[in-house]
Amino acid sequence: MDQCGRFIAANFPTQVLSTADQDQVLKAYMAIWREVCHFSTVSLGRNGGQKSAGMPDIDADEVNSKRAVYLRTQMRLVLRSQMDSAEKVKQYAECISKANMVVDSSNGDLRQYSGIARELVAFYPDVAGKLADQMHKQLVDWLGGSVESPLILLLMHTAEALQPQAIETGLELVDECIGVYFKRK
Q: Comparing C-alpha atoms, which of 90, 78, 157 is closest to residue 117? A: 157
- Compute the distance between CA of residue 8 and CA of residue 60 in angstroms, rounded to an integer: 24
Domain-by-domain residue ranges, the chain?
2-181
Which mean pLDDT values do the consecutive 10-residue runs of the chain (185 residues) have?
A: 88 77 79 87 52 58 90 93 92 94 83 91 87 93 92 85 74 90 85
Left, alpha or beta for 47 (phi > 0: left; psi -120 to 50: alpha)? left
Residues 6+ apart with CB under 8 A from 85: 130, 131, 134
Q: What is the pLDDT of residue 11?
A: 86
3-state helix, strand, coil in the chain (%, to 5): 70, 0, 30
**What is the reported pTM?**
0.85
Q: Residue 136: which of 83, 93, 107, 72 has the closest Cα?
A: 93
